[in-house]
Amino acid sequence: MSKDIRSFFLPKGQKSEKPNQESNDIKKSKKRPIIIDSDSDESVEIIPKKKKENTANKKSGTVKKRVEILKPVDASDLFGSEKIKRSEAKPALVCKESKNKSKSPKECEQIHFDDDFEATLCQIDQLEDEVLSKNDVHKNVPDGKETKPKISPDGSKPSGKTVEKKQNSSPEAKEKKHYEKKLSENKNKEVVTEKDLKKETPKKAANLNESLGSPADPVEKKRQQALSYMKYLQRGGPKHLGSKEVPKGKAGCLSGLVFVITGVLDSLEREEAAQIIEQYGGKVTGNVSRNTSYLIRGEDAGQSKLNKAEALGTSQINEDGLFDLIRTRSDNTSNESHPTPEGIKKKKKHEKTRAEEDSIPSKKAKVESKVEPTETKKSIESKKVSLEDKPSVESKQKSEWKSSKNKTSTLDIKNQNYNSENKTEKETKITADFADVKSSLWVDKYKPTKTKQVIGQQGDKSSLKKLTVWLENWHKNHSGNKKHVKPSPWAKNDDGAFFKAALLSGPPGIGKTTMAHLVSKELGFDVVEFNASDTRSKKLLHMEISELLSSKSLFGFCHLGDTVHQTSIKHVLLMDEVDGMAGNEDRGGVQELIQLIKNTRVPIICMCNDRNHPKIRSLANYCFDLRVMKPRLEQIKGAMMSVCYKEGLKIASEALNDIICGANFDIRQILHHLSLWSVKEKQFPSGVGQAGAPKPHKDMKMGPWDVVRKVFSAEEHKTMSIHDKSDLFFHDYSINPLFVQENYLSVVPAAAKGCVKKTLECIAATAESISVGDVVEKTIRSRGAWSLLPTQAMFSSVIPGDLMEGYMRGQINFPSWLGKNSRTGKLDRLLQELHVHTRLSISGSKQALNLEYLPHIRDAILRPLTAEGSVGVPETLNVLQTYNLLREDLESILELTAWPNQKDPMSGIESKVKAALTRAYNKEGILTPYSVVNVVKKRSAGTSPDLEDFEEGGEEEEVDEDDVSVDAMIKAKKSQKRSEEVPAKGPQGRGKGGNGSNSRGGQKRGRGRGK
Amino acid sequence: MSLWVDKYRPTSLSKLDYHLTQAEHLKNLVQQGDFPHLLVYGPSGAGKKTRIMSLLRELYGPGVERLRMERVNFTTPSNKKIEITTLNSNYHLEVNPSDVGIYDRVVIQELIKTVAETHQLDTAGQREFKVVLLSEVDRLTKDAQHALRRTMEKYVASCRIILCANSTSRVIPAIRSRCLSIRVPAPSPEQIIVILQNVCKKEGVTLPPELAERIASKSGRNLRRALLMCETCKVQQTPMQPSQEIPALDWQTFLEDTAKMVVQEQSPKQMSEVRGRLYELLIHGIPPPTIFQGLLEELVKSCDMQMKRRVVEAAAKYEHRLHQGNKSIFHLEAFVATFMSIYKTFMEEMLGGM
Checking if the pLDDT of A403 tops 70, the result is no
Choice between A608 and A1, residue whose per-residue pLDDT is larger: A608
Q: Under an 8 A CB cutoff, do B341 and A899 touch?
A: no
Best mutation target among B79, B143, B238, B327 (most A Cβ atoms within 10 Å) is B327
pLDDT reported for residue A556: 52
The answer to whether the peptide bond before residue A694 is cis (omega within 30 degrees of 0) is no
- Residues A444 and A436: their CA atoms lie apart, in Å, by 12
β-strands B92-95, A806-808: how paired? unpaired
Which residues in chain A are closer than 8 Å to B85, comparing Cβ atoms?
Answer: 836, 839, 930
Specify the 3-state DSSP secondary structure of A632.
coil
pLDDT reported for residue A493: 63
Q: What's the distance, Cα to Cα, between the start and end of chain A in Å?
A: 112
Looking at the complex, report in whole angstroms how far the Cα of residue B6 sits from the nearest Cα belonging to chain A. 7
Best mutation target among B5, B229, B326 (most A Cβ atoms within 10 Å) is B326
Q: Under an 8 A CB cutoff, do B337 and A851 touch?
A: no
In terms of DSSP H, where are the helices of A104-172?
Answer: 108-140, 142-168
Q: Model pTM greater than 0.90?
A: no
Which residues in chain A are closer than 8 Å to B341, comparing Cβ atoms?
Answer: 757, 760-761, 763-764
Q: Under an 8 A CB cutoff, do B344 and A855 touch?
A: no
pLDDT reported for residue A51: 45
Q: Name the DSSP class of A809.
A: -
pLDDT reported for residue A6: 55
Task: Tell me the residues of chain A between 735 and 794 that have a Cβ less than 8 Å away from chain B.
Answer: 741, 745-746, 756-757, 759-761, 763-764, 766-768, 770-775, 777-779, 781
pLDDT reported for residue A551: 60
pLDDT reported for residue A934: 46
Q: How confident is the model at residue A817 (pLDDT cuts 50, 70, 90)?
A: very high
Among candidates A295, A293, A300, A379, which has minimal Cα distance to A339? A293
Q: Give strand ranges (E) for A234-300.
A: 258-262, 283-285, 294-297
pLDDT reported for residue A504: 87
- Residues A365 and A321: their CA atoms lie apart, in Å, by 13
Looking at the complex, report in whole angstroms how far the Cα of residue B331 sits from the nearest Cα belonging to chain A. 5
pLDDT reported for residue B187: 92
What DSSP string describes B73-131?
Answer: EEE-TT--EEEEEEEE-SSEEEE-GGGGGGGHHHHIIIIIHHHHHSPPS--SSS-S-EE
- Residues B147 and B105: their CA atoms lie apart, in Å, by 7
Choice between A180 and B196, residue whose per-residue pLDDT is larger: B196
Which residues in chain A are closer than 8 Å to B344, comparing Cβ atoms?
Answer: 756-757, 760
Q: Under an 8 A CB cutoff, do B330 and A770 touch?
A: yes
What DSSP string describes A80-100?
Answer: HHHHHHHHHHHHHHHHHHHHH
Q: How confident is the model at residue A555 (pLDDT cuts 50, 70, 90)?
A: low
Specify the 3-state DSSP secondary structure of A750.
coil
On average, the pLDDT of chain A sits at: 65
Q: Under an 8 A CB cutoff, do B222 and A852 touch?
A: yes
Task: Tell me the residues of chain A between 220 and 279 that have a Cβ less than 8 Å away from chain B.
Answer: none
Lowest pLDDT segment from A318-332, A687-701, A960-974, B230-244: A960-974
User: Between A759, A817, A860, which is nearest B327 by CB?
Assistant: A817
Among candidates A608, A623, A597, which has minimal Cα distance to A542? A597
Q: Under an 8 A CB cutoff, do B329 and A768 touch?
A: no
pLDDT reported for residue A199: 45
Best mutation target among B4, B227, B330, B349 (most A Cβ atoms within 10 Å) is B330
Specify the 3-state DSSP secondary structure of A526.
strand
| Rg of chain B (C-alpha set) | 24
Looking at the complex, report in whole angstroms how far the Cα of residue A845 sits from the nearest Cα belonging to chain B. 7
Q: Does A933 contact chain B (CB < 8 Å)?
A: yes
Q: Which residues on adjacent β-strands are paired with residue A605?
A: A502, A574
Q: Name the DSSP class of A285.
A: E
Q: Under an 8 A CB cutoff, do B2 and A841 touch?
A: yes
Q: Identify the burial level of B64 via C-beta atoms within 10 angstroms of its C-beta, where 0-12 means exposed, 13-18 middle and 19 or more buried.
A: buried
Choice between B224 and A135, residue whose per-residue pLDDT is larger: B224
Q: Does A856 contact chain B (CB < 8 Å)?
A: yes
Q: Does A833 contact chain B (CB < 8 Å)?
A: no
Q: Name the closest residue on chain B to residue A775, using Cα atoms.
A: B325
Per residue in A694-729, pLDDT (tens digit) is 555 555 667 788 888 888 888 888 888 888 888 889
For residue A263, give Cα distances in angstroms to A180, A229, A366, A908. 20, 12, 11, 84
Contacts of A900 (CB under 8 A, 6+ apart): B280
User: Between B222, B330, B345, which is nearest A757 by CB?
Assistant: B345
Among candidates A260, A275, A344, which has minimal Cα distance to A305? A260
Q: Which residues on adjacent β-strands are paired with residue A297?
A: A262
Looking at the complex, report in whole angstroms how far the Cα of residue B265 sits from the nearest Cα belonging to chain A. 11
Q: Does A376 contact chain B (CB < 8 Å)?
A: no
Q: Do residues B133 and B95 make contact, with C-beta atoms less than 8 angstroms apart?
A: yes
- Residues B106 and B144: their CA atoms lie apart, in Å, by 8
pLDDT reported for residue A691: 43
Q: Which residues on adjacent β-strands are paired with residue B93?
A: B88, B132
Choice between A620 and A819, residue whose per-residue pLDDT is larger: A819
Across A300-304, A501-505, A582-586, the highest mean pLDDT is recorded for A501-505
Q: How confident is the model at residue A559 (pLDDT cuts 50, 70, 90)?
A: low
Q: How confident is the model at residue A357 (pLDDT cuts 50, 70, 90)?
A: very low
The arithmetic mean of pLDDT across residues A366-393, rounded, is 45
- Residues A691 and A676: their CA atoms lie apart, in Å, by 18
Among candidates B259, B261, B264, which has minimal Cα distance to B299? B259
- Residues A511 and A123: their CA atoms lie apart, in Å, by 51
Handedness of CA A707, A709, A714, A718 (dihedral sign): negative
User: Between A770, A859, A897, which is nearest B334 by CB?
Assistant: A770
Q: Name the closest residue on chain A to residue B249, using Cα atoms.
A: A855
- Residues A842 and B9: their CA atoms lie apart, in Å, by 10
Which residues in chain A are closer than 8 Å to B333, comparing Cβ atoms?
Answer: 741, 767, 770-771
Q: Under an 8 A CB cutoff, do A859 and B232 touch?
A: yes
User: Between B324, B336, B338, which is nearest A775 by CB?
Assistant: B324
Specify the 3-state DSSP secondary structure of A702.
coil
Q: Under an 8 A CB cutoff, do B235 and A902 touch?
A: no
Phi first, then psi, for residue B158 (nearest 5°) are -105, -5
Checking if the pLDDT of A788 tops 90, the result is yes
Which residues in chain B are closer than 8 Å to A741, comparing Cβ atoms?
Answer: 329-330, 333
- Residues A535 and A577: their CA atoms lie apart, in Å, by 12
Which residues in chain B are closer than 8 Å to A865, comparing Cβ atoms?
Answer: none
Choice between B129 and A176, residue whose per-residue pLDDT is larger: B129
pLDDT reported for residue A763: 92
Q: Which residues on adjacent β-strands are paired with residue A561?
A: none
Which residues in chain B are closer than 8 Å to A989, comparing Cβ atoms?
Answer: none
Q: Under an 8 A CB cutoff, do B69 and A839 touch?
A: yes
Among candidates A227, A185, A245, which has minimal Cα distance to A6? A185
| Rg of chain A (C-alpha set) | 44
Q: Do residues A527 and A513 make contact, with C-beta atoms less than 8 angstroms apart?
A: no
Q: Name the closest residue on chain A to residue B85, using Cα atoms.
A: A836
Specify the 3-state DSSP secondary structure of A687.
coil
Handedness of CA A90, A93, A95, A98 (dihedral sign): negative
Helix (H) or strand (E) holding B310: helix B305-324
Choice between A997 and A104, residue whose per-residue pLDDT is larger: A104
Q: What's the distance, Cα to Cα, between the start and end of chain B in Å?
A: 62
Best mutation target among A759, A774, A940 (most B Cβ atoms within 10 Å) is A774
Among candidates B178, B140, B183, which has minimal Cα distance to B37? B178
- Cα of A987 vs its chain's centroid, Å: 70
Among candidates A272, A173, A295, which has minimal Cα distance to A230? A173
Q: Identify the burial level of B199 via C-beta atoms within 10 angstroms of its C-beta, where 0-12 means exposed, 13-18 middle and 19 or more buried.
A: buried
Checking if the pLDDT of A944 tops 60, the result is no
- Residues B326 and A782: their CA atoms lie apart, in Å, by 10
Q: Name the closest residue on chain A to residue B225, using Cα atoms.
A: A852
Q: How confident is the model at residue A239 (pLDDT cuts 50, 70, 90)?
A: low
Task: Tell me the residues of chain A between 872 and 911 that have a Cβ less than 8 Å away from chain B.
Answer: 875, 878-879, 882-883, 896-897, 899-900, 902
The arithmetic mean of pLDDT across residues A786-797, rounded, is 93
pLDDT reported for residue B89: 86
Q: Under an 8 A CB cutoff, do B225 and A899 touch?
A: no
- pLDDT tens for the 354 residues of chain B, in order: 678 888 888 888 888 888 889 899 888 888 877 788 999 999 988 989 999 999 988 888 888 888 888 888 888 888 888 888 888 888 888 998 888 888 888 888 888 888 877 776 666 666 778 889 999 898 888 888 988 888 888 888 888 899 999 989 889 999 999 999 999 999 999 999 999 999 999 988 888 889 999 999 888 889 998 998 898 888 888 778 888 888 888 899 999 999 999 999 999 999 999 999 999 999 999 999 999 999 999 999 988 888 999 999 999 999 999 989 989 999 999 999 999 999 999 988 888 876
Specify the 3-state DSSP secondary structure of A262.
strand
| A630 conformational bin, left if phi > 0, alpha if psi -120 to 50, beta if neither | beta
Q: Name the DSSP class of A141.
A: -
| A664 conformational bin, left if phi > 0, alpha if psi -120 to 50, beta if neither | left
Looking at the complex, report in whole angstroms how far the Cα of residue B282 sits from the nearest Cα belonging to chain A. 7
- Residues B252 and B143: their CA atoms lie apart, in Å, by 34
Contacts of B98 (CB under 8 A, 6+ apart): B104, B136, B139, B140
Q: Name the DSSP class of A299.
A: B
Per residue in A515-550, pLDDT (tens digit) is 888 888 888 888 878 776 666 666 777 777 667 666
Best mutation target among A739, A741, A755, A763 (most B Cβ atoms within 10 Å) is A763
Q: Name the closest residue on chain B to residue A746, using Cα atoms.
A: B268
